[in-house]
Structure 1
Amino acid sequence: MASAIVKVTNVSQFVEEDKLRKLFAHLGEIKSLALKTSAHECTIEYVKPSDALLALQLDGEPFYDRALAVESLPAPLDEDQLARIARTARIDNVPASVTLEQLRQVFAQADGVRRMRLGNGTDETTGLGYAYVEFTSPEFQKRALAKLDGMAVEGERLKLSPSRIAISKGKAPRPPTDEPKSIQSPRPRAPSHDRRTRSRSRSRSRGHVRDRLRSPDAPPRRDDDSRRSGATRRRSRSPRSPAGGYEDDREYERSKRSRKF
């Protein structure tokens, strides 16, 4: 659970409570504020934990003749958590080879065991681990401390003491399975073609699509007009042959006159 409480230290002796409240109220709604002028510190509780997180940005902020030091405080424990801590014990000097089931067999001699959990780490110097056991009541916890403290397990003597934390109520991790994971075969890659071949095929296909979209009554395309105009120009450049195969009109007229005579 996120904390909504921040602790402000290095507070100037000239700072009044309303001035400090006005400074931190810009970040969110304040539920309570307790200023200790003699200790140069202040405890502020916000309504929302997110506002308390924003208040950490004022760490090092100059205020009067000092720079404020802002830090987050842990959330207060509720009655249920305090009751669970009171009936929980910590087990030290647990050999690394000991399993949770073996510990349960050891604590079968005690009454009122509710749940147990192994720690995730070991001591760097001794290589021994730790565990936690929660009982149904503080009375059963005290009896187990007196009965099982110092019991030998695989050559090591367990050390039991009252716990300062409670065992988490989270779900236990799932055991690993031996079933192989399904591996999806990669898709076969299409054979690579020459870029020129692909570009030609694309241009041809696009040309066919444009021809299909054109209506039959549409005017001819520009390339058709240019071809026709080019052909016309080429025909106009070639000399027109006169009638009868004569080279020019003058020779044709002379031939007509000679025929009359």
Structure 2
Amino acid sequence: MASSSRLISRLALVTGGSGIGRAVCQRFASEGATVIVADLNQDAAVETVDALQRGQKGLEHMAGQIDVSSKDSVKKLITRIQTCYFQPPSVCVNAAGITQDDFLLSLEEEHFDKVIQVNLKGTFLVTQAVAQALVACGAPKGSIINMGSIVGKVGNIGQANYSASKAGVEGLTRTAAKELSFGIRCNCVLPGFITTPMTDKVPDKVINKLLTLVPLGRMGEPAVADVCAFLASDDSRYITGTSIEVT
């Protein structure tokens, strides 16, 4: 049974205010963390924060707008967080991501580039900015959790760009873990086929075909948040540079 207080005093930044990101925010808040929800869609971030405030009175959660593919946008948000809370986030979950699916032979270059910019470059920029802020203030520890995908490992028809971006996230995570020898841990979570607004756009016939490949025979829920809470807490204090599959 998970502790209900193991994230008390933790300041957590979560990019992506819906789907898995929203589930992570809810789980973190339930365990005592103060959560900053950051999304390109400000309304999604505010909606998530409003739900946290109703359920967790007294915690000063915050909604922020961010374009993770823009270094300037990322730096502005980190500065705002430090101004508001007088510290950088000690936990960061990079859950912002997009899809632009198409078969390899017809995939537009701009759709390939956009997915790489958000999913891979965005993870790099946020990871870099949070780690720089933690090192600069002499923080004794931190936990960065990057959202990969099982398709980054096994591939998926119609997702050459998405698969490539998530494979890159896993490689970035392993390298960051080796370089950040300052008590900052960096790990990757690889969700399988999880029910989110992103998968809601996938045709039923594709979902049904995918389910034949899943031993449990069903889509997962955004309970990937359970693993993120573990990686954010001291329960995983000797785990870094690894990937945990939730599939």
Question: Normalising by the residue count of structure 2, what TM-score does the alignment of the two structures yield?
Answer: 0.17
Bigger relative contact order (CA 8 A; separation at least 6): 2
Question: Normalising by the residue count of structure 1, what TM-score does the alignment of the two structures yield?
Answer: 0.17
Question: Which of the two has greater strand per residue?
Answer: 1
Q: Which has the larger radius of gyration?
A: 1
